[in-house]
Amino acid sequence: MPSATFHFPKGFLWGTATSSHQVEGGNTNNNWYKWEQEGHTAHKSGNGSDWWGGRWKEDFDRAAETGQNAHRLSVEWSRIQPAPDRWDEAALERYRSMLRGLRDRGITPMVTLHHFTDPLWLGELGGWETQAVVPLFEKYARKVVEALKEYCTLWCTINEPNVYALEGYLRGNFPPGKSDLKLGLVVQSNMARAHAAAYRLLHELQPEARVGYALHFRPQESFRSWFPLDRLMRNIKFAGINLAFPSAISTGIMRSPVGRIQVPEVKGTQDFLGLNYYSVDTVAFDLRNPQELFSRSFFPEGIDLADAGMNSNTPEGFFSAIKWAVRTYPSLPIIITENGIEDSTDRIRPRYLAEHVHAMWRAVNFNWPVKGYFHWSLVDNFEWERGWTQRFGLWALDIETQKRTRRSSADLYAAICKENGLSSAMVEKYCPEVFEKLFPG
Ligand code: FCB
């Protein structure tokens, strides 16, 4: 049996990612709380993973003990600015102690300013649908950066603007549950303007800041490559899902299959690309599915699929996502801001993790500038409209007792973080079923 280790460059960031509403609990002043009360979600977020109650301490201990040297978390706008004319200094102080808690444990923080949730008052003012949001976000960002810059230099302005728009303005899973793709594009353009304003502000307040946003990148494959209509649908979906924000940052014009919007101030506003990668979609033309533009997205039969069927284990797609990023932005640093799989029994996660780390190592070996990897997630947390039905944590969570149970993937990830690499011994121990694939010969 071959014995080898795939090493990563010195200083590589290994961490996990979380978001405020998913882990904190008790967020009652945002649009997701309202959405949950209205019955749009499988469960309610409740106490989350009880970070606001103080359990961030024990979870950061877990991260540190398992060799993680970075953590991505988000701060909750609705806590920090509970009303347009009111700031909650105690909430900011709490975030300061969390970031200090990370620093004390030798963990580099990345702070996300917006991860899907909006203060209720913002919704009343039109949310992200009008440009009025831009100065409001800028004001909020200024307050956060002034309070937290002592502890953080790595910033993610907005998480997955494309998912926010597609789920909230097409599929109806996220608030405001509208069905208006053109408005969804307007929303993304306002997010891009707010991102650009925060980018400039951050550099003004903290010259050493490194600022990006997190793009949900989803490769699309045509079901029958010989069939032009499958290819057409694939191309429309690829552009519609992935390219609005990147086009705005590259050219100052946001482009999508439903239109284009001039956002000149957005051009060039990123110091790194944050890439969230989960799975690949297969796309076929389908006359019976007019609501999806006569197309259908699915996972092909026989694919390595997680229990709830939302995530497939397709590491080739991860490699191609990184390749796309490098081609789009040559020499711009890339940080994998999310990657993971829902798997309550940890049946598939060890091989998902090993195969994705391997794909990333291949990318690094082309000298592509991947600088870090944040696994989603540290501990099970509230999965939006899917409630608690999906378990992404390295640690399992019992939401009644808040007891954490370490999954074996946590051990594998600890070994990867501590080694700064993936070894044949790790694969043999945690996921021998992919040994031949990763270490042929
Ligand atoms: C991403 C979200 C994150 C989490 C994972 C599973 O799209 O950014 O909050 O829900 O999916």
Detail the DSSP E strand segments found in 9-116. Answer: 13-17, 70-74, 108-114
Residue to substitute in 21, 218, 338 for testing ligand 1 pocket (most ligand atoms within 8 angstroms of CB)? 338
Average pLDDT over every residue of 322-348: 97
> What percent of the chain clears pLDDT 90, i.e. is strictly above it?
97
Residue 246 has pLDDT above 90, yes or no: yes
pLDDT given at position 309:
85
Is the separation of the CB atoms in 295 and 283 below 8 Å?
yes
Give Cα 408 distance to the centre of its chain. 23
pLDDT given at position 241:
97
Residue 162 has pLDDT above 90, yes or no: yes
pLDDT given at position 184:
98
- Who contacts 70 (Cβ-Cβ below 8 Å, separation ≥6)? 13, 14, 15, 107, 108, 109, 110, 372, 374
Q: How many angstroms is it from 2 CA to the middle of ligand 1?
A: 36
* Residue 160 near ligand 1, beta carbon < 6 Å: yes
| Buried b / exposed e along 245-280 (16+ C-beta atoms within 10 A) | bbbbbbbbebbbbbebbebebbeebbbbbbbbbbbb
DSSP conformational letter for 30? B
Q: How many Å apart are CA 65 and CA 173, to the nearest integer?
A: 37
Residue 170 confidence class, pLDDT cut points 50, 70, 90: very high
> What percent of the chain clears pLDDT 70, i.e. is strictly above it?
100
Query: Atom of ligand 1 at shortest distance to CA of 22?
Result: 9
Angstrom CA distances, 8 to 181, 188, 416, 420, stand at: 41, 35, 10, 6
pLDDT given at position 427:
98
pLDDT given at position 404:
98
Residue 156 has pLDDT above 90, yes or no: yes
* Residue 163 near ligand 1, beta carbon < 6 Å: yes
pLDDT given at position 60:
99
Residue 202 has pLDDT above 90, yes or no: yes
| pLDDT, tens digit, 9 for 90 and up, residues 22-56 | 999 999 999 999 999 999 999 999 999 999 999 99
Average pLDDT over every residue of 342-364: 98
Mean pLDDT, the chain, rounded, equals 97
Average pLDDT over every residue of 64-90: 98
Q: Whose CA is nearest to atom 9 of ligand 1?
A: 19
Query: Atom of ligand 1 at shortest distance to CA of 392?
Result: 6
Which run of H or E residues covers position 253? strand 253-256
Give Cα 218 distance to the centre of its chain. 12
Q: How many angstroms is it from 423 CA to the middle of ligand 1?
A: 28
Average pLDDT over every residue of 140-147: 98
Average pLDDT over every residue of 80-91: 98
Residue type, 286: D
Q: How many angstroms is it from 400 CA to the middle of ligand 1?
A: 23
Count Cα atoms within 13 angstroms, Cβ side, for 44.
Answer: 15
pLDDT given at position 308:
84
> What are the backbone dihedrals phi and psi of residue 286, each rounded to the nearest 5 degrees, phi first?
-150, 110
Average pLDDT over every residue of 251-269: 98
Q: How many angstroms is it from 168 CA to the middle of ligand 1?
A: 14
Nearest to 346 by CA among 438, 431, 421: 431
pLDDT given at position 1:
84
Q: How many Å apart are CA 11 and CA 415, to the nearest integer?
A: 16
Q: What angle do CA 73, 75, 77 make, to 5 degrees?
A: 155
Residue 389 has pLDDT above 90, yes or no: yes
Residue 293 confidence class, pLDDT cut points 50, 70, 90: confident
Cα dihedral angle (167, 211, 391, 5), rounded to 10 degrees? 130
Cβ-count burial of 310 within 10 angstroms (0-12 exposed, 13-18 middle, 19+ buried)? middle
Residue 291 has pLDDT above 90, yes or no: no
pLDDT given at position 137:
99
pLDDT given at position 441:
82
